[in-house]
Chain A
């Protein structure tokens, strides 16, 4: 099987300071990869590099498009990059307010990405928006409400609907459950787990929460000081961690 996304020796710097260094991995269709590590480990830098929001100093990032083309993302024309982001990729922000348009209705938040890829029929767009509200367990009766009137957990589910409505193949997520109450987190995690499996979505999820990683990820990548220190199958890395930092990370989790 061809990897969907293939990173080779990615290095991203902030001036002199290294954000992430020498990161390589392959992500396959339908696979969920969690990147774990504490603040400053470079995991968010890596995610932003993958999302082409930060420019890598070196390395190579290859994506296999829906048409089967192998695309070198760092040299791809900007217009083509933007098209790809709209049609095949999603990005779920930690703070839903960064990923939503707070001044338009919930329905418009879901409908906009569809219009951006050419949907024009108002009735169909509205029906799809309403269907997606249901899929992320939002009351479709609130389709005309502004997201500002939603709770944090509801906003996060709305952001997920906005990202998934176009049928992306790859979704990048930055701490999608951080800042939510524990009970709200569990619901969101279950939703993410179900949707990624149903839609055969590939996903790179950055989290500092080992519990989130255990529940969602097929594979883990542990980062420390900008570098990947350990990688492997989720339950293997968590139950039999090899690197001193991973052992510390795992042993610091309070038992459930």
Chain B
């Protein structure tokens, strides 16, 4: 995607949801003598409606780093990331270099993210945590909580826990609250970082089912899945990442 010509890829191709070109990420560790750690270099990705891409590669290959760049949590050192956005004529918005204010809108409306761990907020009950993505879109409180209850029930969180803050929940319960919170708003693009890692077999099956449902509804997904069985069940293709050797820097 070049900056000096008008890019109409998202207009011409209605299935295209995310286009990343030349993504690089190098961490400069200023507190450790200015060491540079290269995590990603030249990664290209086209993500389409209704597909689920499995990020594969050994530990340290930059899988989580790529997801974080796609969410605007890490700043890509080079490259561009464009996301389908029906609110403008060119049908996309550029995430890389976007103002924080715009990144927040992109996250509210376009890109969802399920991390490995729930970030617990003191005193906020599970029900409110799950309803929050809807409330932030201006959906009425009763409606948001009604849908949150549906998601919590679907993910097998016992009703007696709904009004409690998840700090004391088990790892698996926290993770399912996290997934409910991630999926409730029906973002057209979902990033998944080991969504089934801390779950037992029964709950893993439930979570896999809701993820697969979202994909079949047309959600474009890319994620890290810790086992081959889950990948085989959920993913439609793979994207291989290879570790880069650390570069010495002055």
Listed in ascending order, the chain A residues whose CB lies under 8 Å from chain B are 28, 31, 186-187, 189-190, 193, 197, 215, 218-219, 232-233, 235-236, 239-240, 242-244, 247-248, 251
Which A residues touch B29, using CB under 8 A?
A: 247
Pair A240/B74 contact, Cβ less than 8 Å: yes
The interface on chain B, measured as residues whose beta carbon lies within 8 A of the other chain's beta carbons, has a size of: 19
- A197, A233, A239: the one within 8 Å of B103 (CB): A233
Name 30 A/B residue pairs within 8 A (Cβ), A-sorted.
A31-B101, A186-B122, A186-B123, A187-B122, A190-B121, A190-B123, A193-B121, A197-B135, A215-B121, A218-B104, A219-B100, A219-B101, A232-B75, A233-B72, A233-B104, A235-B73, A236-B72, A236-B75, A236-B100, A239-B74, A240-B27, A240-B68, A240-B73, A242-B75, A243-B30, A244-B30, A244-B31, A247-B29, A248-B31, A251-B31
Q: Closest residue of chain B to A186, judged by CB?
A: B122
At the interface, yes or no: B205 with Cβ under 8 Å from chain A?
Answer: no
Name A's interface SS: helix
Q: How far is the CA of A122 from the CA of B27 in the complex (A)?
A: 61
A251 contacts which chain B residues (CB < 8 A)?
Answer: 31
B124 located at the interface, meaning its Cβ lies under 8 Å from any Cβ of chain A in the complex: yes
Write the nearest CB–CB distance from A232 to chain B, whole angstroms: 6
- Alpha-carbon separation in the docked complex, A234 to B31 (Å): 20
Question: Considering the chains assembled together, what is the distance between the CA atoms of A31 and B101 in angstroms?
Answer: 9
Residues on B with beta carbons closer than 8 Å to the beta carbon of A244: 30-31
B30 touches A218 (CB 8 A): no
Q: Are A236 and B74 in contact (CB under 8 A)?
A: yes
CA distance A232 to B101 in the complex (A): 9
A193 to B30, CA, bound (A): 33
Q: Mark B117-153, 1 if CB is under 8 A from A, else 0.
A: 0000111100000000001000000000000000000
0 or 1 for each of B235-248: is its CB under 8 Å from A? (1 = yes): 00000000000000
Q: Which 6 A-B pairs have the closest CB atoms?
A: A244-B30, A186-B122, A233-B100, A240-B74, A190-B123, A247-B30
A240's contact among B31, B75, B122, by CB below 8 Å, is which?
B75
Q: Which of B12-32 contact A (CB under 8 A)?
A: 27-31
How near does chain A come to B134, taking the closest CB pair, in angstroms? Answer: 13
Q: Which residues of A contact B72 (CB under 8 A)?
A: 233, 236
Contacts of B74 in A (CB 8 A): 236, 239-240
The answer to whether B124 touches A232 (Cβ under 8 A) is: no
**Contact between chains at A218 and B100 (CB < 8 Å):** yes
Contacting residues, chain A, for B27 (C-beta < 8 A): 240
Q: How far is the CB of A240 from chain B (nearest CB, A)?
A: 4
Closest Cβ of chain B to A182, distance in Å, is: 10
Known contacts A190-B123, A235-B73, A236-B75; is A28 also within 8 Å of B101 by CB? yes
7 other contacts beyond A232-B75, A233-B100, with CB at 8 A cut-off? A28-B101, A218-B100, A235-B73, A243-B30, A247-B29, A247-B31, A248-B31
Distance to closest chain A CB from B121 (angstroms): 7
